[in-house]
Structure formats: C-alpha cells, structure tokens
C-alpha cells in the first residue's frame, strides 16, 4: 500500500514546493510535487504533517560514533545505538568512519561494518552506505590524534587487504598525497570507485595538485589537520579552496573552525562543492565525561572533545550543523540543507537516488518544523506514525 505525505512545504532541495505531496511506494518515492499536481492513489495511507517541511534525509559522510558507541566496534548493538541517534537528528544514511588502528583491528572492523552495510534498512535507524577509511595513510606532521604507531606508508597492497576485508564497501578514503606511495595508491583506489579525499596532510601546493591529478576529488575537514594557509605558501589549503574539481567538507561546530572562516569556506567552494560533516565521536548525545575514539581516550567538556590537548572529533549533529551555517554564513535553510543532502550525495555519486526528493529516489526523508527541529525521519520508506 502506498503512503502519501502532505506538508505545507517541500525542499527537494533545489526546488521549494508549497502545499506539497510526496508518494512512497515501498522503499521508493513514486511522485513528489505540489498537492494539486500529484495523483494520490485512492487506497493510499495519507499522513498530513501540517506546517512541517519535507526534505531529503541528511547524509553524514564522516562520523566515528554516537550514543556512547564507536563504529569500530562494528556490532549490531553498537551500530543500532549510533544509527538510532542519527535518525533522531534527521540523518538517514552515513559513512561509518574508521580511525587509525593496527592492521588487525582495522581489518576486523571493516569485516563487521561490511556485514552491516549488506543488511536491510531498519525503521528509525540511519543506514550505512559504505565505509570511510580515515587512516592509516596520513601525515605524521598532521595526524591529529591518530596514533603515529599505526600510520603506514600508502601502498596498493595494504589498500587491497582493506578493500577485501570490507567486501568492496570502501566508498571514501582520506589520504595525505605528499607521502611516498600515495599517488599510486590514489590511482588504484580511484579505479576501484573510491572517492579519494585529501586530508591529514602537510602537502605543499604542488604535492596537493599532484594528488588531484592522480584522482583525488574531495577534501576532509577543511582547515583541520592541514598545513596552514600562507600568502606566500598556499599549500594544500590553496589547492582545496581554489580547486574547481574538488569538493570539500567542513566541521561547522564553531570550535574546529571559526564561524567567519566557515563563511569564507562557503564563499570559496560555492553552493555546489561544499559539504557539512560532523566528525562526531561516541560522546555525541551523551553528558560530559570520558569516551573512546577507536582505542583512544577522549575527554569531553562543554562540547569540546580533546585527547592529549588536541581536538579529537566532535559532538556535533548534522541538523545542528545546518543551523550553525545559517548563523555563521547568514544563509537560508534551503541553501544550508543542500550542504547535508544533495552535495554529499554527489560526492558519493548517488545523487539520483539519495539526497533528493524526486520520483525514483530512495524514500529517505526528514521532516522539519519551521524552527529547524527534526520532527520525524523516514528511512527506506518505513514510516513510524507518531
């Protein structure tokens, strides 16, 4: 039986539609538009969300954990806790993101996450689309809290081991392009369809551009764990901010990057190439205290996550990131929403099915109030009536 959602407004997100209707048939959207133009099946279940706003479900391409659990655990219990919290904040899909660990621990985590990716969607739980491999191919100089013991020289062989353990589910890999072996590894991963993201990098401008020529097309948490921008030595940030072929993401929590610099970033990358991420860790949605990021201990106080004096992820949620961008960059909700829906979907090459509300797309939907609060989240067409 089809389900019809009615609301005062729908953001596709490129188009704003008033007095909207959206028809779900199984796990797919079969129609979306103004109520007067959408044929509503006579047998459909109709749910009227009043003055709410229908939007695509949010997509977080960089998240380590939430609700006291870490994605490296890989168990259904851990992922259920994380995914339930994500859904409460409008996130319908995500990339569980690894942290640098021993190869044995990394391979074990990848195997568990691969099994989770293959399962069917579950009501009120965000679903993993693939894996984001953050480490071990990172710069020692810009490693952040990633353990120097487990950092590796990039190699096609190590990539192959991780690819096989993940059953081909690696969708994104963060790598420092200046490292020996990086360009060959970038090229090999690109041939596998992996989105290569420049990050945790001390590259100069020439090294960063070499990485882009080898296949890199994205940048990880811009400004953080990157060589600083200098007017005579633009470095990796010069390539990221000016590269038209490069998309880039940012942690818009006001702690990792100053609000004015978030505004600068959005002006530089424009509406098509900027993406919001959370880089959230297990402490997200939890009180202050001591938590884990992989095997590392992190102290959390008043929203700031630190390990040995360094920032170690965040407790940001993606709906809050959207709200922050509206304040930091004086942007509207529709413009800010795009940075967490359509743009990350384009980065992953899935914009026809995710990050949009249109016929043929997956029925992954967030329902917001006009105050920007998430009222309900629908994953895979599974509607849980309040």
Q: Which residues are catalytic?
A: 279
User: Counting runs of H as helices and runs of E as strands, what totals does the chain give?
Assistant: 10, 22
323: three-class secondary structure by DSSP: helix
CA 12/CA 32 separation, integer angstroms: 9
State how far the Cα of 251 lies from the Cα of 220, in Å rounded to an integer.
9
DSSP code for 21: E
* Burial (0-12, 13-18, 19+ Cβ within 10 Å), 120: exposed
Side-chain half-sphere exposure of 34, counting CA atoms within 13 A = 6
In degrees and rounded to multiples of 5, residue 24 shows phi and psi of: -110, 130
Length of the chain: 386
The Cα–Cα gap between 374 and 53 comes to: 9
Gap between the Cα atoms of 19 and 130, Å rounded: 35
Helix (H, G, I), strand (E, B) or coil at 137: coil
**332-359 burial, b for 16+ CB within 10 Å, e for fewer?**
ebbbbbbbbbbbbbbbbebbeebbbbbe
Structure tokens at 136: 């071990």
* Residues near 368 by beta carbon (within 8 Å), at least 6 away in sequence: 52, 53, 55, 90, 319, 333, 374, 375
């Amino acid at each position: 039986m089809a389900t019809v959602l009615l609301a005062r407004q729908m953001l596709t997100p490129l188009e704003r539609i008033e007095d909207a209707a959206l028809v779900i048939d199984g796990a797919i959207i079969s129609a979306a538009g103004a109520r007067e133009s959408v044929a509503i099946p006579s047998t459909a279940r109709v749910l009227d969300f009043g003055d709410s706003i229908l939007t695509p479900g949010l997509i977080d391409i960089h998240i380590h954990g939430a609700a006291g659990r870490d994605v490296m655990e890989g168990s259904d219990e851990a992922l259920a806790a994380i995914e339930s919290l994500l859904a409460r904040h409008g996130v319908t899909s995500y990339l569980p993101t690894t942290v640098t660990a021993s190869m044995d621990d990394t391979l074990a985590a990848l195997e568990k996450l691969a099994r989770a990716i293959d399962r069917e969607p579950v009501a009120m739980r965000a679903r993993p689309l693939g894996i984001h491999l953050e480490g071990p191919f990172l710069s020692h100089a810009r490693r952040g809290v990633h353990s120097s013991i487990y950092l590796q020289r990039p190699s096609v062989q190590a990539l192959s081991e991780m690819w096989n353990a993940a059953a081909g589910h690696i969708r994104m890999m963060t790598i420092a392009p200046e490292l020996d072996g990086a360009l060959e590894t970038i090229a090999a991963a690109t041939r596998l369809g992996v989105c290569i993201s420049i990050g945790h990098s001390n590259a100069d401008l020439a090294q960063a551009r070499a990485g882009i020529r080898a296949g890199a097309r994205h940048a990880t948490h811009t400004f953080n764990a990157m060589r600083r921008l200098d007017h005579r030595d633009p470095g990796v940030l010069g390539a990221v901010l000016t590269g038209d072929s490069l998309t880039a993401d940012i942690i818009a929590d006001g702690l990792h990057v100053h609000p004015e610099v978030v505004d600068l970033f959005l002006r530089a990358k424009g509406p098509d190439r900027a993406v919001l991420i959370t880089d959230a860790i297990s402490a997200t949605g939890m009180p202050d205290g001591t938590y884990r990021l992989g095997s590392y201990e992190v102290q959390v106080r008043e929203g700031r996550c630190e390990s040995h004096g360094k920032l170690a992820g965040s407790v940001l949620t993606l709906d809050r990131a959207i709200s922050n961008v509206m304040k930091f960059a004086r942007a509207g909700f529709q413009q800010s929403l795009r940075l967490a829906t359509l743009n990350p979907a384009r980065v992953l090459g899935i914009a026809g099915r995710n990050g949009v509300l249109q016929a043929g797309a997956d029925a992954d939907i967030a329902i917001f109030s006009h105050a920007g609060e998430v009222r309900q989240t629908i994953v895979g067409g599974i509607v849980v009536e309040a």
